[in-house]
A and B are shown apart, each in its own frame.
Chain A
Amino acid sequence: MGFDMNEHELRGLIGKVKTGRLSRRGFVQRMMAVGIAAPFATQLLVHSGVAMAQAKDTYEPTKRGGGGILKVLWWQGPTLLNPHFAVGTKDQDGSRLFYEPLAGWDPDGNLKPKLAATIPTRENGGLSADGKSVTWKLKQGVTWHDGKPFTADDCVFNWEYARDPATAAVTIASYKDVVIEKVDDYTVVVKFKQPTPFWADALVGTRGMIIPKHLFADYIGGKSREAPTNLKPVGTGPYLFKDFKPGDLVSGTINPNYHQANKPYFDAFEMKGGGDAVSAARAVLQTGEFDFAWNMQVEDEILSRLEKSGKGRVQVTPGGNIEHIQLNTTDPWVEVDGERSSIKTKHPILSDPLVRQALSVLVDKDSIEKHIYGRTGPATPNFLNNPERFRSKTMKFEFNIDKAAGLLEKAGWKKGSDGIREKDGKKLKFVYQTSINQPRQKTQAIVKQAAQKAGIDMELKSVTASVFFSSDVANPDTYTKFYCDLQMYTTTMSQPDPQLFMNQFASWEVATKENKWQGRNITRWRNADYDKLFRQSESELDPVKRASLFIEMNNMAVGDQVVIPVVMRPGVAALGTKLMATISGWDNNTWDLSDWYKKA
């Protein structure tokens, strides 16, 4: 387990805070002393019925408006503005300019109320003891941009809208298995079939943006694409819709009736799309033409050089995305029943744990961080890194060619005359694939060099991103088919809860021909103990126990070298010097737009 402190001790401390014998601060400090990070410590208190400390409000302006125009650059502009159809981040970010959920996720993975009056807790009666329902109190006096009041009916409507398969909403997964009921005009209850530890999904965050019932009620199901409001959003957000040109521009003007006092600061905003990441960084950091640029997929070296102009700064936001190397557990070179990498086979070389261990010490993560990614990719030993409360503290990584050589020697792989190891006349050779993307090719080269020194012949393969990441069943080069020994890419974590993220190692998620390679378990690793832990985490209501389950799952997957984590991929944004904006790795870039302002 990831904790040294035993559970009883912890509960004792929480009890002391409840009865006032120990201050919240004292509790957090004691937790930190045993290696539990502050956000996790506070979360422990919340789930145990002690109210969360109000996040410090750093918003300075004392009146609404007067901030001029806010100009932001998304080098891929939003192409649609209905949050239930928002395919990519860009579309969600665009929809979030006008629509709001009940609550959003702050950078630490805690909830911040938006359309909710308060965040449900055990103490305020919002969370039921059996974990089967959540009661949300809605903020009163909120109006849609057209003046109609926002009520519980709207919340219920969003559930009906999204769960209808005919609507084909991308948010369906958050709504199809729950029931949302109206209690009164300003109270809704979300009911689950099973005890659900991660209760803040429907109506919360990226997939929780709420659209108005009175404008969408006639366009539910098959008619969903005909709704005129799809292209002219009417939300509750800080800015009113002005203009939308897909892929090019979204603009808005200040909402004089916004439900939060003194907000927003800007009189209007303009989100410009198109172009490329480098010139977007230039427009913010070097010329100051724009105030904010999204997703700076630019080498850190260039960003640092541009920052020297003094017009702006780079802001790095931790999230859960992880660039990692996967080790195939099946044989990619033998075809069984029309598919390679079939779970009926075993990888001839990689099934030996010694070989996997050798590979894991041949990835020079520090050099990869230092020479390739910089601030945009910190090296990590873990697959599950954030929110910090779920991060394992026991995993370590090292780079050691001699150790790798020793391990391979022990496994019976002896060096041949050409420097490549062999066993029973078979060469130690792997094919290592990834998508075409400069940092990835550089990483491949670093790994190949180290592998060669240890006597492994590493053949590098790079596939065009549009093929590699496609779900084309006919193409052998997609990442889900995994028709090679090793592969590398970034897997994303879109929620502050690891449940979905960790199903990538569950045995029922294995990608096979039968499920058209749509399973999420690409390495095809199967382990009964892991499956058991995963099932346990699905219904474990105690946040402390649940966190330790996830930490153990991480340690199993990484410890068994199913994957070799390389670097974390935090969010990177460019901000003008004066712009103050909180970006969260767990929510849309524009989740807190109402609180953006410029320092005087």
Chain B
Amino acid sequence: MSRQYIIRRLLIAIPSLLGISLVLFTILALAPGDPFEELATNPAVPPEVRAALRAKFGLDDPVWTRYLHWITAMLQGDWGFSFVSRMDVDTLILQRLPVTLIVIGSSQIISILVALPVGVLAATRPYSLFDQIANTFAFIGFSLPTFFTGLLFILVFSIQLDWLPFVYRADIDATGWQFYWEHIKQAIMPVMVLGLFQGASLVRYVRSSVLDVIKLDYVTTARSKGIGERKVITKHVVRNALIPVVTLVALQMPIVFGGAIVTEQIFRVPGIGSLLISAMLANDTPVVMAVTFVFACLVVLFNLIADILYGWLDPRIAFR
């Protein structure tokens, strides 16, 4: 793989990120609403206060000047200042990041842990009872939206059985084992809802990709050499079959940082997703811009990483 290729890809990323930020900013600027809207309907607040606040936060400037301000500040590492919370946007995002990483990260891990063995097993015994069951569950899994499974879980595990809490609390007042236990207990439902949803679609990828490889001649050769079935599967089949799966997982990585808006809302998980949605509802443009722009950067970055990984895993793929 050539260094030139990577440099070229990075250079291409710059105009696309600029384009993305411009589109985001324009759409947000054109959208109706005002972060100080609540002040307008409150009789006790004179209109001058709103006007002063708008002027203070530069909301009355033309869109392009605001964009230039934003982009120059962003390039200097200043992510902006939230209109609504009156604090720096990066602090707001950093506050939410750990929970997002824990919840979404573990749901990704769970989805991989479930999808890999199930997909491989299903593919080695195609159309067996196990394959049929796995397939059925995979179909159900990715057909049911998370807001539905989330509510179903709450109804069953919180309300009927009363086993698990359905309000996620980032600050748990306990120490030692109790602390970890409480954290695990409250994370089970959101992690499972997300993990099973993603796992279900991943199972289908793993299965089809293993099926493609298992029919190839070199696998038959390996078998005829008298290598044990287990070894053939792990060493010869899975390793090659995983190439597309790895890229797929890499492409999903930005989601880990972006949070899961719906699930976070249902379980009140204080992640990036819920920050984004509340910022949108409150017309808190700097926060929306920062979150979406960071997300866009991550997508571009992980696309690049996936491409590089691809070439590294399968040297037959050439870079031009």
> Is the pair B53, A168 in contact by a Cβ cutoff of 8 Å?
yes
Bound complex: CA A516 to CA B51 (Å): 11
B253-292 at interface with A (beta carbon < 8 Å) = 265-266, 268, 270, 274-275, 278, 281-283
> Is the pair B32, A472 in contact by a Cβ cutoff of 8 Å?
yes
> Is the pair A492, B41 in contact by a Cβ cutoff of 8 Å?
yes
Query: Which residue of B47, B48, B85 has the most chain A CB atoms within 10 A of its CB atom?
Result: B85
A95 close to chain B: CB less than 8 A: no
A260 close to chain B: CB less than 8 A: no
Per-residue B-contact encoding for A269-297, CB less than 8 Å = 1, 0 else? 01011111001001100110110000000
B16-59 at interface with A (beta carbon < 8 Å) = 32-34, 36-50, 52-53, 56
> Is the pair B85, A80 in contact by a Cβ cutoff of 8 Å?
yes
Q: Is the interface of A mostly helix, strand, loop or mixed?
A: loop
A518 close to chain B: CB less than 8 A: yes
Which residue of the partner chain A has the closest CB to B169?
Answer: A272
> Is the pair A470, B34 in contact by a Cβ cutoff of 8 Å?
yes
> Is the pair B159, A168 in contact by a Cβ cutoff of 8 Å?
no
> Is the pair A243, B167 in contact by a Cβ cutoff of 8 Å?
no
> Is the pair B46, A172 in contact by a Cβ cutoff of 8 Å?
yes
> Is the pair B270, A494 in contact by a Cβ cutoff of 8 Å?
no
> Is the pair A470, B37 in contact by a Cβ cutoff of 8 Å?
yes
Which residue of the partner chain A has the closest CB to B277?
Answer: A274
Q: Chain A contacts of B81 at CB under 8 A?
A: 225
Query: Which residue of B44, B52, B275 has the most chain A CB atoms within 10 A of its CB atom?
Result: B44
> Is the pair B32, A80 in contact by a Cβ cutoff of 8 Å?
no
> Is the pair B32, A470 in contact by a Cβ cutoff of 8 Å?
yes
B201 close to chain A: CB less than 8 A: no
Instruction: State whether A275 and B34 are in contact (beta carbons under 8 Å apart), knowing that A73-B167, A87-B84, A246-B87 are contacts in the complex.
Output: no
Which residue of the partner chain A has the closest CB to B99?
Answer: A248
Q: Chain B contacts of A262 at CB under 8 A?
A: none
A511-534 at interface with B (beta carbon < 8 Å) = 515-516, 518, 520
Q: Chain B contacts of A245 at CB under 8 A?
A: 95-96, 170, 270
A231 close to chain B: CB less than 8 A: yes
> Is the pair B50, A274 in contact by a Cβ cutoff of 8 Å?
no
A469 close to chain B: CB less than 8 A: yes
> Is the pair A85, B159 in contact by a Cβ cutoff of 8 Å?
no
Q: Which of B44, B48, B86 contacts A495 (CB 8 A)?
A: B44
> Is the pair B52, A472 in contact by a Cβ cutoff of 8 Å?
no
Instruction: State whether A501 and B33 are in contact (beta carbons under 8 Å apart), knowing that A80-B84, A230-B86, A471-B50 are contacts in the complex.
Output: no
B166 close to chain A: CB less than 8 A: yes
A552-588 at interface with B (beta carbon < 8 Å) = none
> Is the pair B86, A518 in contact by a Cβ cutoff of 8 Å?
no
> Is the pair A87, B268 in contact by a Cβ cutoff of 8 Å?
no
> Is the pair B46, A168 in contact by a Cβ cutoff of 8 Å?
no
A148-174 at interface with B (beta carbon < 8 Å) = 165-166, 168-170, 172-174
Query: Which residue of A279, A494, A500, A516 has the most chain B CB atoms within 10 A of its CB atom?
Result: A279
> Is the pair A170, B39 in contact by a Cβ cutoff of 8 Å?
yes
Instruction: State whether A282 and B84 are in contact (beta carbons under 8 Å apart), knowing that A268-B173, A467-B32 are contacts in the complex.
Output: no
Q: Chain B contacts of A472 at CB under 8 A?
A: 32-34
Interface size grouping (class) on chain B: 35 or more
Instruction: For residue B259, give the distance in angstroms from its CB to the closest CB of chain A.
Output: 12
Instruction: For residue A488, give the distance in angstroms from its CB to the closest CB of chain B.
Output: 15
B165 close to chain A: CB less than 8 A: yes
Q: Which of B159, B165, B274 contacts A247 (CB 8 A)?
A: B274
Q: Which of A173, A249, A500, A515 contacts B170 (CB 8 A)?
A: A249
Q: Which of A251, A272, A286, A469 contacts B268 (CB 8 A)?
A: A272
> Is the pair A283, B166 in contact by a Cβ cutoff of 8 Å?
yes
Q: Chain B contacts of A88 at CB under 8 A?
A: 38
Which residue of the partner chain B has the closest CB to A87?
Answer: B38
A466 close to chain B: CB less than 8 A: yes
Q: Chain A contacts of B266 at CB under 8 A?
A: 275, 279
Query: Which residue of B34, B38, B82, B86 has the most chain A CB atoms within 10 A of its CB atom?
Result: B86
> Is the pair A466, B44 in contact by a Cβ cutoff of 8 Å?
no
Instruction: State whether A274 and B278 are in contact (beta carbons under 8 Å apart), knowing that A73-B167, A470-B33 are contacts in the complex.
Output: yes
> Is the pair B268, A246 in contact by a Cβ cutoff of 8 Å?
no
Bound complex: CA A76 to CA B281 (Å): 11
Q: Chain A contacts of B44 at CB under 8 A?
A: 173-174, 207, 494-495, 500
Q: Chain A contacts of B212 at CB under 8 A?
A: none
> Is the pair B92, A246 in contact by a Cβ cutoff of 8 Å?
yes
Per-residue B-contact encoding for A470-493, CB less than 8 Å = 1, 0 else? 111001000010000000000010
Instruction: State whether A247 and B85 are in contact (beta carbons under 8 Å apart), knowing that A283-B167, A287-B159 are contacts in the complex.
Output: yes
B162 close to chain A: CB less than 8 A: yes
Bound complex: CA A251 to CA B270 (Å): 15
> Is the pair A248, B270 in contact by a Cβ cutoff of 8 Å?
yes
B247 close to chain A: CB less than 8 A: no
> Is the pair B166, A286 in contact by a Cβ cutoff of 8 Å?
no
Which residue of the partner chain A has the closest CB to B87?
Answer: A231
Instruction: State whether A168 and B32 are in contact (beta carbons under 8 Å apart), knowing that A246-B87, A289-B167, A470-B37 are contacts in the complex.
Output: no
Instruction: For residue A179, give the distance in angstroms from its CB to the closest CB of chain B.
Output: 18
Q: Which of A80, A251, A500 contacts B86 (CB 8 A)?
A: A80
Instruction: For residue A99, give the distance in angstroms from its CB to the closest CB of chain B.
Output: 16
Task: List 7 tightest A-B contacts by C-beta distance, closest first.
Answer: A248-B270, A471-B40, A246-B85, A275-B268, A274-B268, A518-B47, A79-B85
Can you report 15 A-B residue pairs in the complex whose CB atoms are below 8 A from each other?
A: A79-B84, A80-B87, A85-B86, A88-B38, A168-B49, A168-B56, A173-B46, A249-B170, A270-B169, A272-B268, A274-B270, A275-B268, A276-B265, A287-B162, A492-B41
**Given pairs A246-B95, A270-B173, A275-B268, 7 additional interface contacts (CB within 8 A):** A69-B173, A79-B82, A79-B84, A79-B85, A247-B270, A275-B167, A471-B37
